[in-house]
């Protein structure tokens, strides 16, 4: 019985140490999440303006065939690129599992008669793809938590370069969008080729006096980098904030579970102590009765 009491005390100490870790991880994630959301909100107006500019280009004259709208697929095996944004670490509930599940669903839909090349952002997704033998772009190694405009520019340049070369003929992105602190949705979005109808929504007012130099298509070739940078940057920031929120929730639940476990162990320890005391009293009474 003494050994059992020592085991319970050891268990309480162990759970208490775990509780300290989960509580610390919750506070760290909360702090990082606030900074990340502020950063996302501060950069959003710029990329929204780029999207308006893309709409203006479409409205004012992208009528000729262009590779960004018509696609680069000519003949032979069609190749599809998929940007997958996952977390860099675990301990964030079902966040990474949901991303990988949607990635596998997309892969099943598009891989029947097409080659699929993945561009993973985040260590969890990259390790999963390499471990299971999927095709991963060479020298493509980026972490979600190190998101910056410079990094996003490199990613956008890489995928567009491959698209123009014909290494890929379509491009998708999979990321997690933060809806609220209790809900995050995995988004699967087609990036290339562009869909003109996506930019022309609602009432459109044209201004024929606008002229683009040297030409409309040349301007589009430049703006497309900024447009894709905006999409990818927003997706990476949304995913990073979603990961932090998911980790906050997971660590908060773990802390609450630790509290409940400690309370149960304390109750069990008190019962064991009471049993020891009761046994000792019984032995004393039995001994006294034997002396009479």
Q: By the 8 A CB rule, do 230 and 50 touch?
A: yes
- CATH architecture of the domain covering 2-26+255-284: Orthogonal Bundle (1.10)
- Residue limits of CATH 1.10.287 in the chain: 2-26+255-284
pLDDT at residue 69 in the model: 77
- Cβ contacts of residue 206 below 8 Å, gap of 6+? 59, 60
The pTM assigned to this predicted structure is 0.83
- Cβ contacts of residue 192 below 8 Å, gap of 6+? 68, 71, 159, 160, 163, 168, 170, 171
pLDDT at residue 61 in the model: 60
Dihedral of CA atoms 16, 20, 26, 32 in degrees, nearest 10, equals: -170
CA distances from 183 to 71, 94, 150, 249, 261 (A): 35, 12, 29, 11, 27
Rounded CA-CA distance 284/292 in Å is: 13
pLDDT at residue 180 in the model: 82
Phi, psi dihedrals of residue 133, rounded to the nearest 5°? 80, 20
CATH 2.40.37.10, domain 34-200+212-249, yes or no: no
- Residue limits of CATH 3.40.1380.10 in the chain: 34-200+212-249
- Going residue by residue through the chain (292 aa), what tens digit of pLDDT does each one get? 567 888 888 889 999 999 999 999 999 988 888 888 888 788 778 777 777 777 777 776 655 567 777 776 666 668 899 999 999 988 888 999 999 999 999 999 988 778 899 999 999 999 999 999 999 998 898 998 888 888 998 999 899 889 888 889 899 999 999 888 888 899 999 998 887 777 766 555 555 556 777 777 777 777 778 888 888 988 999 999 999 999 999 999 999 999 999 999 999 888 878 877 777 777 777 776 666 6
> Which of helix, strand or coil describes residue 142?
strand
Q: Enter the tokens of residue 282.
A: 């019984």
pLDDT at residue 202 in the model: 57
């Amino acid at each position: 019985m003494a050994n059992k009491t020592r085991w319970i005390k050891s268990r309480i100490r162990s759970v208490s140490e775990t509780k300290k870790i989960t509580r610390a991880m919750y506070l760290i994630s909360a702090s990082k999440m606030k900074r990340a959301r502020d950063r996302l909100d501060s950069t959003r107006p710029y990329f929204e303006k780029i999207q308006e500019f893309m709409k203006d280009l479409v409205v004012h004259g992208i009528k000729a065939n262009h590779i960004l709208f018509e696609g680069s697929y000519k003949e032979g095996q069609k190749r599809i690129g998929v940007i997958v944004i996952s977390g860099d670490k675990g301990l964030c509930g079902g966040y990474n599992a949901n991303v990988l599940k949607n990635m596998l669903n997309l892969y099943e839909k598009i891989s029947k008669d097409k080659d699929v090349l993945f561009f993973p952002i985040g260590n969890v997704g990259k390790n999963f793809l390499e471990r299971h033998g999927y095709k991963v772009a060479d020298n493509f190694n980026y972490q979600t938590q190190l998101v910056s405009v410079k990094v996003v520019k490199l990613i956008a340049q890489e995928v567009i370069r491959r698209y123009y070369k014909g290494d890929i003929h379509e491009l998708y992105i999979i990321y997690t969008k933060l809806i609220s602190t209790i809900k995050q949705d995995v988004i699967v979005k087609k990036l290339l080729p562009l869909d003109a109808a996506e930019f022309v929504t609602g009432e459109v007012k044209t201004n024929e006096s606008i002229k683009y130099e040297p030409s409309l298509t040349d301007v589009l070739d430049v703006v497309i980098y900024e447009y894709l940078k905006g999409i990818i940057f927003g997706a990476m920031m949304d995913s990073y904030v979603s990961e932090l929120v998911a980790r906050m929730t997971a660590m908060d639940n773990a802390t609450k579970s630790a509290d409940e476990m400690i309370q149960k162990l304390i109750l069990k320890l008190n019962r064991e102590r009471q049993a020891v005391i009761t046994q000792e009293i019984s032995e004393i009474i039995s001994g006294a009765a034997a002396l009479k």
